[in-house]
Structures are given as structure tokens and as C-alpha cells.
Structure 1
Amino acid sequence: MHHISRDFVVYSLDSSHKPVLEIESGDRVLLDTWDARSGTINSTADLLLRPHPVGSNPATGPIRVRGAEPGDGLAVHIEAIDLAPSGFLAVKKGEGLLASRATEFATRIVPIVDGTVHFGELRFPANPMVGVIGTAPAGDGISTGYAGAHGGNMDNKHIGVGATVYLPVSVPGAGLGLGDVHGAMGDGEITFIGLEIQAQVTIRVELLKEAGFQRPLIETAEHWVTTGDGESLAGAARMAAGEMVDLLQTRLEMSFEDAYMLMSAAVDVQICQCCEPGEFPVTTRAVVSKGILP
């Protein structure tokens, strides 16, 4: 198995970045990831008073997949997410979904012990997930703070252990990067900050020739998940729903009308991240059971 340390990170997904590793289809890689602030938040005194000097959401990589060409796809299997002993939660003054009520900066260091989050006296299960995963887009690079057709900062909690993320390849070699792991995150991530934590993520990468993916698609043991993003919640929700209706039409060979009706009865359209809608892009998903779509 290959290994990439957290010494090799990028703050954008961009074809101009030199790959730190070249792999074959089917190879496994262990990636060490920073938290969203590159290890700079270590106590309650470390407040998010200013942006990180380099950038947020560092992604480990990029990885070049030998033989990957535009029009191909990647299947990235998330085999394991091993969390550091603690991470952080924070409030940034004047930011987030409840910005008008966030009048102070605050940081909390949060231990995770045997898969359980210790939030003061409260206890709840950790839910490790990958916030940022994507390939390099054609043309200009995109900050790891943003999502798009290439993947990126989707903040989709279905991207956990056992999930497979299907991604488009837009440039030779793909330029795969991954980071921004959360120990837990509520849908919405309403403060801008999930339980940010360093981790080790084990993946297996398959090259799918001529897959023709236009956007990320996520498969779990129980669900298929389409993705959306946009400046508005309405636009992002329509994108995820539109991707799902297309998937149902194609896979189940049904009309738009039947797929649309089926979605209204059996598909959930959900928010992934809406920390400041109208000011920061929203990410969404549509989720269907494999009992309906095998």
C-alpha cells in the first residue's frame, strides 16, 4: 500500500499541481490528512479570528492515476478513516447560519474516545466522514473550500467508511486529492465548522475507462446518492434532484414522469452544508435506497 504524509497538501484542486504519487488502477493508498486549519487549533485560546494564511481545507495529494484521461472516471473506495484522539469545534463571530446571534468567538477541543465524542458531559457516536474529495477540473483550479462538478468540498456525510465516490476525470492523470475529515458533522454544518480533526484515510482507487461521469455520485451499502451545489439552496437542491431523476430514468428505464413521481414518494432531497446561504455556496444530496435502485 502506498502512503502520503500530510506534508504534501494542496489548497486547490488544479491540474498545475505536481503529483506527489502515481498509482495504478486498483492500488490502495493511506493518506494522512490535516484538519481544516492545518493543525493550528490546539486549545480553547486558539480562536478563528482570521483566515489561515495559506488556506482552509488542505487536501492531501494530488495523486496521478496512470492511464486516466478526460472522459474517464474514478471509483474511490473509502476503506478506513482513523481519527486523531481529538478535534475542534468553533464559532466565528458574525458567521454561520445564525450569524446575527454569534456575537463572540469560541473554540472547544473535543476528545473522541473509542468512537464516542465527548462534548463536555454529553456523549454521542462519532461519524467519521471525508469533507473534501475531488479531481482536478479542466481549466482553472478550484479552491478546496468549494464544491463543483469535480467534487471538492461537498461536506456530504455519506462519504464515510464503506462508501465509494465516483468522480469525473477532466485532465490527464485525474489529480485526485482528499482531506477535511470530520469526526462528526450535522447536516448543514451551520457554524461553518464540523468536528474538524486530523485523520488517516485508506482508499482504493479504480480507473473506469470512458465512464463519462459529469458530477460526483456516491454509493454506500444501502443507498445511491447524487450531489448538488450552488449559490442558492433552491438551485443546489434542484441540481441534486435533477441528477437523481436522470439516474432513475437511465438505470430503471423509465420515463421522466415516472421517475419524478417515484422521487416524490421515495427519494430524500437533503442539505449537506448551508452555513451561510446567499453568501457561501450550498451543497445538497438526493438519496435513494438500493431496495428501489439496486
Structure 2
Amino acid sequence: MYCQDFFNINDPQMAHHILKATKDTVHLGGFSHLLTPALTVNSSDTIEVETYSGYYVYDKAPPEFLTPEFLDICQNLAAERKIASGPHLLTGPIYVRDAEPGDVLEVKLTAIAPSLPVGFNAIRPGWGALPEIFPQPALRFIPLDLENNIAEFPTNSGIKIPLKPFFGILGVATPETSRISIPPGYYGGNIDNRELQAGSRIFLPIFVPGALFSIGDGHAAQGDGEVNVTAIETSMNGKIKLTLRKDLHFTTPIGETLTDIITMGFGETLDAALELALKNMIDFLERFTNLSPEEAYVLCSLAVNFRITQVVNSPQKGVHGMLPKAIFSHKINW
């Protein structure tokens, strides 16, 4: 395990941690409450966290995608840290002292940045929004211009995609012995919501003591829907703050950006996901803005933007609702 702790000179009760990704601090393919924590923190501690992506494609990757630490993980990860059949390599879990089932974990995403000048995109047979039309596997490594914050795709096409990095997976463990990392759910997980960039927060319900939060699946850029299964997947570093919220009681993840409140819905169809995202937004408006259910329903039709999050994390598709904070004359306190 590799981590360092530093006390905040302005608040000695708060500590700052550095959590590197090593074969002792990552896990593959899913979530499990049986995992030994990679780090233990107090509420309101901050963490510089390192993540790697591409466990199953490292042998096909160019040299600039590989680091000695990543190779060590890919070649020497212990069997007990291979949780399920998902493709995601996650850093954690992080144990939060005093966290109990029924509490909420607030995750503030202070900084997010790719750590490598390259990422990859993969088409997997049988997956994606159009598996019958694109049945053949395809793996592409895409250079990242970190100085200008763009990726050109295809190469020499003049098509320049702005880099807007985020973590595709932000989640906590559940009472099940193991849970595959592919579908998102009430615990968070593989949400793939590109709105959750630096400066945003996500609130996750807690289901086991310590919360056991894990993070990974770095995306340098992604469109809503993530329609061919992957974004520009790459290794990602971030700075996060974990705060235990015993004053909140959610049963599903809720996000907040600088401009919007975000509710989420996950279902086997987009209709089901939309219905849940809408119900969750109505519930939020009732609880925190004192609107009646009917008033909240009408406001959702007038001012909330519902968007497709992703359609490829079988069996759960995702829809999220964006509530603009600017429409309120007073700050929503929650």
C-alpha cells in the first residue's frame, strides 16, 4: 500500500492524504465490502488519488500508455483483489470513520486531470448501442494534447475534441459479497455522467460501515450516451474531499455542479430510467424547495433538462435531470 498523510495546518482535525494506485490499493471488476481498505480517513479529509485504466488492453498499448506501476498491477494483481468480471480497475476502497448505513457520503471533486498523453476507445462485440451494425471488435489509442487540452480524432482530420475529464465510476460497497462494476445503481458505480467534472459534488447513500468508496474509470472526453461502449478511456489523477453527511438521507445518488442540481435514474430501458430520474427530481424539489408534488412536476416540465447519461452499461441505462440553480432567487440549502 502506498499512501501519505499530512495534517492541514489551518485545521489540525483535517488531514490530506496521497493514495497512489498500486497492486495493493486497487481492485478489479467490481465492488465488495470484504476488501481490505486501501486507506482510512476522517470526514472532511482530502485525498489526492491516482487511478489507472486499461487493465485488459495493456499488452496492446503503446509505451506512453504504460508506467512501471501500471505494469506491476496488470502482471501481479492478487486474486483476492479481482472481484468480478467487469473491466474496470478501481482505486480503493477508502474507509470513512464513523460512516454507517443510512448516512450519505459527499464526494467533492476538486481537481481531475489525465496523467498520460494517450487514451483508448474500444468497440466490444455484442455491446454498444448498435451491436448488429458494428459487430467487430476495434481498439484505438488516441493521443491527448494535454497542453492545449484537446484530442484530434481521427488523426490529421482537423476534428478537435475538447478534453473534459471526469471519473466514470464513483461508488460505495453494498452488503453483497461482490458486485460487478459494469452497471450503475443506487450505490453509484459506473455512472458515466460527464457533468461530474472538477468543481462538482456527488452524494452517495451509504450501505456498509465505513462506506468503502472506490473511484476510477477515467474519461478524458465523452459524449452523452457513450454509444459505442467507451469514451476516451485513460488513467486519471484527482483531488477529492470526502465528507460524512448524517443530516442527509438519500436512497440514490444526487449530483451538483456549479450550475445545476442533478438527479439520476437507472433502468433496463430509457423510459424506466427517465421515470426514476424524474421522480427523484420531484422528491428533491419537495424536500428542499418546499414545492408541492404537482408544482414540482410542472417545474420539471418547464425548467429541468433530462438527458441520456449512457445506454451501454448493460443491463442499466442512465438518464439524468439537470435543474438550473440560477432559476432560484435563494440558494438551495442541503
Measured after TM superposition, the shift of residue 140 of structure 1 is 4.0
Distance 1:273 1:171 in 2: 27
Paired residue for 1:289?
Answer: 324
**1:85-128 Cα distance to aligned partner (Å, 9 max, x none):** 11011222443111121143222211111211122122121010
Question: Hey, what's the Cα distance between the residues in 2 that align with 1:260 and 1:191?
Answer: 33
**Cα distance between partner residues in 2 of 1:224 and 1:270:** 13
d(CA) in 1 for partners of 2:176, 2:161: 43
Partner of 1:105: 137
Q: CA–CA distance in 2 between the matches of 1:163 and 1:54? A: 30
Conserved? CA contact 1:217–1:225, under 8 Å? yes
Query: Who is 2:43 aligned against?
Result: 25
Q: Kindly indicate whether the alpha-carbon contact (under 8 Å) linking 1:71 and 1:210 is maintained by their aligned counterparts in 2.
A: no
The structure where helix makes up a greater share of residues is 2
TM-score normalised to structure 1 length: 0.91
Distance in 2 (alpha carbons) for counterparts of 1:106 and 1:38: 13
Aligned residues: 285
Summarize the alignment of residues 29-178 of structure 1 with structure 2, pairs less than 5 Å apart.
Answer: 29-37=47-55, 40=58, 41-43=60-62, 55-83=86-114, 84-113=116-145, 114=147, 115-119=149-153, 120-121=155-156, 122-178=159-215
Query: Which residue does 2:71 correspond to in 1?
Result: none
Is this contact kept in 2: 1:188–1:274, CA < 8 A? Answer: yes
Instruction: Compare 225-234 and 85-94 and name the one that shifted more.
Output: 85-94
C-alpha displacement at 1:34, in angstroms?
1.3
Separation in 1 of the partners of 2:130 and 2:203? 34
1:16 aligns with 2:34: yes
Matched AA of 1:269: F
Corresponding letter in the other structure for 2:323: V
Identity %: 32
* Distance of 1:106 and 1:149 partners within structure 2: 32
CA distance in 2, matches of 1:88, 1:268: 30
Amino acid at match of 2:324: S
Alpha-carbon distance between aligned partners in 2 of 1:287 and 1:140, rounded to the nearest angstrom = 34
Q: 1:104 to 1:141 in 2, by over 3 A?
A: closer
Cα gap change, 1:38 to 1:173, in 2 (>3 Å): farther
TM-score under structure 2 normalisation? 0.81
Report the Cα distance in structure 1 between the residues aligned to 2:291 and 2:85, rounded to whole angstroms: 48
SS of 1:174 mapped into structure 2:
coil
**Any residues of structure 2 matched to 1:240-279 within 5 Å, and which?**
240-275=277-312
Aligned-partner SS, 2:263: strand
Query: How much has 1:5 moved relative to structure 2?
Result: 2.1
Partner of 1:48: none
Shift in Å, 1:248: 1.0
Give deviations 1:154-187, integer Å, cap 9, x for gaps.
1111111001111111111000000001000111
Distance (Å, rounded) in 2 between the aligned partners of 1:166 and 1:38: 30
Aligned residues: CA RMSD: 2.0
Look up the equivalent residue of 1:213 and give its one-letter code: F
Shift of 1:73: 1.1
Aligned partner of 2:10 in structure 1 is none
Residues of 1 paired with 2:256 and 2:54: CA distance?
25
Corresponding residue number in structure 2 for 1:280: 315
Match of 1:236 in 2: 273
Counterpart-to-counterpart distance in 2, 1:124 and 1:179: 22
Q: Deviations over 1:228-247 (max 9, x none)?
A: 11111111111111100111
1:15-54, Cα deviation, whole Å (9 max, x unpaired): 11111110011111111111154662515xxxxxxxxx96
SS of equivalent to 2:53: coil
